[in-house]
Structures are given as structure tokens and as C-alpha cells.
Amino acid sequence: MADLFNPTEEHLALRAMVREFAEHDVEPQACRSDREERFNVELFRKLGELGLLGITVDERFGGSGMDAVAAVIAHEELSAVDPGLTLSYLAHAMLFVNNLAQNGNDEQRARLLPAACSGAAIGGMCMSEPGAGTDVLGMGTTARRVDGGYRITGAKMWITNGAINDTDLGDVFLVYAKTGDDGARGLSLFLVEKGMEGFRLGQKIKDKLGMRASTTAELVFEEVLVPERNLVGQEGSAVRSMMRNLELERLTLAAMSLGIARRCIEVMNRYASERHSFGKPLRAFGQIQRHIAESYAEWMAGRAYVYQVAGALRLDSYGNRIDSDGVKLYCSTMAKNVADRAIQVLGGYGYVGEYNVERLWRDAKLLEIGGGTNEAHQKNMTRDLAGVPILR
């Protein structure tokens, strides 16, 4: 029987490499980066040396040429030790690098992807705004055609990798903006690069509940002149690009949930053997048994769902929203619940940082919000399932 989670030897080797790197290099700095709200840029760039920043990109442009399963493996393994750093990885490798690889032209790919795949340039994607999140078509950022290109005006909010520290922008972003008033056909996608006049950091968002090792920022666009060559795809075609990339984004966010849940299960399982109460190990008590057993079963159910969807997903396809939303809907809440149970099993020790589960619990909450709220997934899935009266 084929291994659902490691379908080829290449996938198995990838998992071993990422897990070793995560445990040896990422784990030791995770708590400190969370405490200091610091994006570890130097460590992030090492992901480029491992071929992870361009994991789904054609080798012609500096990538590793792997598939959606490989992307899931990388996110699952990294998130088990540092979800904050992994979120920055996702924003770069999925929301910028894969997005441009799938939706850009060869000139744009050749110009920008090699540096992004190596880690020399740090990228992100700009969709949400101060007054528009799930309601994408309600965004206010506009791109007005002028001689030589477009003038972009507006602001974007909650942008991962928008800043790499308190004062410095990331290097390059894919920015969604309105080029017309014709609903979905009025939305276009642009490449905006650091140094373009009028493009600046509004603020780095501080004091977040979780994902504190990942920077989040407001970005401001004041009549930013973007050359014609930085239009991605055709004017008015951005919704299809958006939907294609959202599917992979939500799949990899679900993979992050898997990593969080796995780590929490490992921690509470060990603790339940080591800690004794009333002369018995904690795992001898029914209340603890329920926490561990239900957590494992829910994690495995989510893991099977995620890898089944990943194995069937073509990176250049779209129209898979029922299950790309479904895996994130299920796994995000599953991970938060598993982390909550781990805290309960550890009692006071779970409430402090020593065993990491409180940090994982804080990080897990974002996955019910970012990349699409659970309520948005419920709406999308129910709408799409209306066309599937018989499930096979």
C-alpha cells in the first residue's frame, strides 16, 4: 500500500530533511523570536539554501519543481516547531513565489523568482485592507492607467512579510487593486517593489496574540507608479489568479494546523507518562485518556484529508474550493482544540512557556481567521455543495 503521507521516496527524503532542519535550527530560536516579536530573517534565508522557498517553482527559475504534497510536508514539519516563522514562509513561498510562477509571464518569472527562491528577496501578497477582508470586491485600493503604466492608491492591512523589522519593507509584493467598477472583472494584479516612489510602510502591527515570530504590517500606496510590465496577467483577470492561489494557500495553512496538533499530541502523550498523580501516571485516568485519544484520532482524520486533497491538486488548476476550504475549516479548529487539550493535560505547566503548548495554542487561533475565516469557508462550501446533490 502506498504511503499517503510520503507518496514517493523524494517526498520521504524531503520530510526527513525539513524535520532535521526544524529540530536543529528552527526549534532553538522559536520561543525567543515569539517573545521578542522578531522575524528571524537570517534563518528564513536558510530555507532558500534548502530549496524550500521555491518548492513548487520550475527549476528554470531557481525552484525545486515539486508538487502540492511537497508543499504540505514542508509546512507541516516547520509548523511543528515554529508556526510564526512558517507563516512567513507560507506568505513568501505560496502567496508570492508560487502565485507569480503560476500567474506571471516568463519575463516576470525570470526577473524576480531567482532572488525570491534563494531568499535574497523577501516577498508577500497584498489583498486585505483596513475596511475589507473577506469581502474582496469591497476593496478600495485602485490602479489608474497612466502613460507607461498604472498609479496605485490605497492601503493594505494584515500583510505578512510587509515589513521585515520595525522600519524596513519587504522586497516585492503581489498587490490586488481595482482597475474598474465591473465587479470581479474590475480586479487586477500588480507587482510592487520596494523603492517605488510613494510605496511605504504604514505600521508594523505589534502585540499580536500569536504568530509573533512573523511580521504583520500595513502598507500604504500613494500614487505609486507601477510600470506596464508589472501587470500580472491581463487587466481585469485577477480573480481567477486569486482563486487558483487561494486553494494552495488554504491547503498549506491546513498543513500548518497538522504540525501544531502533532507537536501538542507528542507533548501531552509524553507528559501523561512522566507525571504521576495519586500513585499512577496521568495516562491511567479516563479524563486524560479522552484528551489524548480524541486528539490523535482528530489529527489523523485531518491529516488523511489534507494529503488526499494535496495528492489530487494540480498547481495550475482551480475549481477545487470545496475541499481546499474544507481541509482548512476542519484542521484549523482541530489544531486549536488539540492545543487546548494539551494545556489541560499539563495543567499549570501547560499554561507557561516551558512545554511550548501555550505558544502553539496562541498560534493556532490565527488559522481560523487568516487565509479566509471559518465562516467564509462555511459559506463557500455550502454554496458549492448546492451543485453536488449526490456525494460519491
Average pLDDT estimate for 274-281: 97
Which residues are marked as active site?
249
Average pLDDT estimate for 36-55: 98
Residue 2 pLDDT exceeds 70: no
* Residue intervals in the chain for CATH 2.40.110.10: 124-232
Please write the tens of the pLDDT for every residue from 215-242: 999 999 999 999 999 999 999 999 988 8
Amino acid at residue number 175? V
Average pLDDT estimate for 194-213: 97
What's the chain's average pLDDT?
96
Residue 277: half-sphere exposure toward Cβ, Cα within 13 Å? 12
> Which three three-digit cell numbers place residue 164?
521585515
Please write the tens of the pLDDT for every residue from 289-342: 999 999 999 999 999 999 999 999 999 888 889 999 999 999 999 999 999 999
Q: Which helix (H) or strand (E) holds 199?
A: strand 199-204
Residue 138 pLDDT exceeds 90: no
* Residue intervals in the chain for CATH 1.10.540.10: 9-122
Residue 1 pLDDT exceeds 90: no
Please give the Cα distance from 175 to 181 (Å, whole number).
17
| Cβ-based neighbours of 126, under 8 Å, separated by 6 or more | 156, 159, 162, 173, 174, 175, 176, 192, 219
Per-residue pLDDT band for 16 (boundaries 50, 70, 90) equals very high
DSSP string, 184-253: GGGEEEEEEETT-TTEEEEEE--S-SS-TTS-EEEEEEEEEEEEGGGEESSTT-HHHHHHHHHHHHHHHH
Report, at the CATH architecture level, how domain 9-122 is classified.
Orthogonal Bundle (1.10)
pLDDT above 70 as % of the chain? 99
User: What is the fold of 124-232?
Assistant: Butyryl-CoA Dehydrogenase, subunit A; domain 2 (2.40.110)
Please write the tens of the pLDDT for every residue from 50-106: 999 999 999 999 999 999 999 999 999 999 999 999 999 999 999 999 999 999 999
pLDDT (0 to 100) of residue 278: 97
- Report the length, in residues, of the chain: 392
Could you give the 3-state DSSP secondary structure of residue 335? helix
- Backbone φ and ψ for 100, nearest 5 degrees, come out as -70, -40
* Homologous superfamily of the 238-385 domain (CATH): Butyryl-CoA Dehydrogenase, subunit A, domain 3 (1.20.140.10)
pLDDT above 90 as % of the chain? 92
* Residue intervals in the chain for CATH 1.20.140.10: 238-385
pLDDT (0 to 100) of residue 19: 98
Q: Is the pTM of this model over 0.75?
A: yes
Q: Where is pLDDT greater, at 2 or 340?
A: 340
Do 160 and 215 form a contact (C-beta atoms < 8 A)?
yes
